[in-house]
Structure 1
């Protein structure tokens, strides 16, 4: 693929939009045109280029819709939503940039207009949770009671992006699919200011309660799949939720302290997380010195966790974000995924070894074209392996 940006952060965001291309979320020519407009500018120029092009594509959608062309309209609305999502990613941070909020609301509107025209019912839902509601969509594969795939997000995605990676393959195979933004994710963070939390068993319990209230859902066949940081959150949730029939962690993760220690120098490594924040802060500042590191740690991390400093955030991750104390309680069949070139896969073997339930470990490789974080450049191969396993697990199909 041609490098669209010299800046690695801009390239990362552009590639993320392009990963939705095979499922209708973007077009290479449109992203290349946006790249020409954005140039080598700052976050403001980036936002203007992407959001402006999104307005253009939305205009195409409205024109088709006004003339009765539903398929053309929904396809354009879906691409406009992707470009709006890309427009505000460089704006992550605390306090929340009003341009980010406005772009997210426009993204949600475009996706909602797509949902109204979608070939399968895509219905907005609100999961009651601790006095508020978690936003999401219930995507229905057809009539009647069917198995349900519950999707658990990561740090910086949202239900609209999850539609491509989860709902599209699930619907094709006859599964209903429930997409939800939990605390620290998507609309729950941007609009409700709910921060990330480690005890996902409470979050997943609320989601399963809401799912079981739906007449379309086969309560004996609810599967949970988490991607990115969801590879920690989904297993943590499943450990405290016995109504889950199958679990997929993509990639499988382990105690966050172990992942953090791996990048710390001795002797701090040996004492983490029981370290003085003042001792840790200079090391983290160095890690956040490049554009990608700064975005991931400072802009994204502090915002998602609501932390005051990087040291506070990392110490909290190390102390409270654990699986070693609950992995033995996961009772449902579990598939643990890992991929070549994905640093987040480092904890997958530890999770797999700790499981006492029926389990399977799958490594996706560069030879398959499925390398990198969450197999983003070959989700078709991931879907083939994982949904075949789900069919076999939930229905005994072989």
Structure 2
């Protein structure tokens, strides 16, 4: 009986985490995808397409990413890490080459690329919290990124903004050195796994080009706070964002137009930013990409009532033992394995049962009526992580919300590989809404 029960729990988790980005299949056919596939492993394809797309804003170079795609063994986490680590060190050596120092712009972009590659090398390592590479590679990416932003025409500045019980790790990017001119400002936060450094190559560059100040940040559960402060995710994200708004009002009041202060939530940040906006009326607008109604509902959306009942009423010990067996399986699809390992690491728990139960707190249904500013709700046709969630957010917000569905090559989760299309829509809406 216990064997049958454990087998069912294994199937249950398989279905839940099959909703991670791009689904759980190890191989998927070219004619089913809107772009040329970069790996027969669906998770690897997505994680290669991300930095490839960032190349348009100095986050990488196209050839090296395609070379990495060629060399990485599908489904092999160590292969993914080692290929990107080698690329990162090769690129770092180029940035340090004194013969190339004559061109500071090229050196700066080379440091940016090295930082991106170190972050990719870390991405699939979180199954073993004792792996020293988790911190070593992060120190490398941080050092490379800091060298790059220090050489910007207006250097970026790292901040540690105090909050109740922790510090928010942030980077401030002013659009102008003119302290007598107030300009619109964007607060941008990432989500479940990516870093604020990635946001520079997604939204900061196009925002600065349009005259926007940008404050990127990370809170509990996100890469730097998880490492430096050993804190997992918290659902009451206003504890993170309100200190950021306080900082802008107090420390940057000379250059921040407080009537044009927008909050952007990327990936799982779509929930985090919505939650924060419900309790931060000083924001002029909020952008959710994607709109997320309930993390738990998304995990269980394809399950029948009996399966959900077993998750609710099954013993924690049996559930966790089943998942431990699953993690040791050699044929586990990458997206499922990564989804479990990253969730445990980011929520700072060794129990899969606790991780999934904790996800119930990450919903906006009880606070959505408190969001009173204009809201942009993005959706993506091929989003496999939060399918069907954005329309629920739009419906609940009513006239406060503008809904936009990305399709075609921009239809992946977070529109990886189609950042120009993303930024066109983002700044067109901001220009119209905050004019």
The TM-score with structure 2 as length reference comes to 0.83
Q: 1:323 aligns with which of 346, 364, 375?
A: 364
Partner of 1:268: 307
Cα deviations across residues 240-279 of structure 1 (Å, max 9, x unaligned)? 1111100000000102232123132331336865665467
Q: 1:101 aligns with which of 132, 135, 157?
A: 135
Partner of 1:114: 148
Q: 1:182 aligns with which of 219, 229, 235?
A: 219
Partner of 1:347: 389
Task: Find the aligned partners of 1:383 and 1:239 in 2 and give their Cα distance.
Answer: 25
- Contact 1:330/1:356 (8 A) holds in 2: no
- Contact 2:49/2:416 (8 A) holds in 1: no
Q: Is residue 387 of structure 1 aligned with residue 421 of structure 2? A: no
Q: 2:81 aligns with which of 11, 24, 47?
A: 47
Partner of 2:6: none
- Contact 2:85/2:121 (8 A) holds in 1: yes
Residue 282 of structure 1 and its aligned partner are, at CA, apart by: 8.3
Cα-Cα RMSD: 2.5
Q: 1:376 aligns with which of 416, 421, 434?
A: 416
Partner of 1:13: 47
Partner of 1:243: 282
**Cα 1:20/1:285, change in 2 over 3 Å:** same
Q: Which moved more, 1:309-318 or 1:171-180?
A: 309-318
Q: Describe the SS at the equivalent of 1:355.
A: helix
Residue 165 of structure 1 and its aligned partner are, at CA, apart by: 1.2
- Contact 2:222/2:346 (8 A) holds in 1: yes
- Contact 2:369/2:397 (8 A) holds in 1: yes
Q: Which moved more, 1:96-105 or 1:243-252?
A: 96-105
Q: Which moved more, 1:321-330 or 1:21-30?
A: 21-30
Task: Find the aligned partners of 1:268 and 1:285 in 2 and give their Cα distance.
Answer: 19
**Cα 1:165/1:352, change in 2 over 3 Å:** same
Task: Find the aligned partners of 2:103 and 2:184 in 1 and give their Cα distance.
Answer: 32
Partner of 1:313: 355
- Contact 1:226/1:233 (8 A) holds in 2: yes
Task: Find the aligned partners of 1:259 and 1:345 in 2 and give their Cα distance.
Answer: 7
Please show how residues 1-398 of structure 1 align to structure 2 within 5 Å.
Answer: 3-35=37-69, 38-39=72-73, 42-63=76-97, 67-142=101-176, 143=178, 144-213=181-250, 214-215=252-253, 216-269=255-308, 273=312, 276-277=315-316, 289-297=332-340, 299-318=341-360, 320-343=361-384, 344-356=386-398, 358-366=400-408, 369-395=409-435
Task: Find the aligned partners of 1:36 and 1:363 in 2 and give their Cα distance.
Answer: 32
Give unpaired runs (5+ residues) of structure 2. Answer: 1-34
Residue 360 of structure 1 and its aligned partner are, at CA, apart by: 0.8
Q: Which moved more, 1:179-188 or 1:64-73?
A: 64-73
Residue 365 of structure 1 and its aligned partner are, at CA, apart by: 1.4
Q: Which moved more, 1:109-118 or 1:21-30?
A: 21-30
Partner of 2:16: none
Cα deviations across residues 363-390 of structure 1 (Å, max 9, x unaligned)? 1112xx2111011121211211221111
Give unpaired runs (5+ residues) of structure 1. Answer: none
Task: Find the aligned partners of 2:401 and 2:230 in 1 and give their Cα distance.
Answer: 36
Task: Find the aligned partners of 2:415 and 2:70 in 1 and give their Cα distance.
Answer: 28
The TM-score with structure 1 as length reference comes to 0.90
Task: Find the aligned partners of 2:149 and 2:43 in 1 and give their Cα distance.
Answer: 31
- Contact 1:246/1:333 (8 A) holds in 2: yes
- The number of equivalent residue pairs is 391
- Contact 1:253/1:345 (8 A) holds in 2: no
Cα deviations across residues 258-304 of structure 1 (Å, max 9, x unaligned)? 2123132331336865665467668878997422211112x100011
Task: Find the aligned partners of 1:325 and 1:162 in 2 and give their Cα distance.
Answer: 29
Task: Find the aligned partners of 1:310 and 1:49 in 2 and give their Cα distance.
Answer: 30
Cα deviations across residues 97-145 of structure 1 (Å, max 9, x unaligned)? 2112111111011110100112343111221123542222111111332
Task: Find the aligned partners of 1:330 and 1:72 in 2 and give their Cα distance.
Answer: 44
Task: Find the aligned partners of 1:94 and 1:45 in 2 and give their Cα distance.
Answer: 16
RCO higher in structure (CA 8 A, sep ≥6): 2
Runs of 4+ in 1 over 6 A off after TM superposition: 282-288
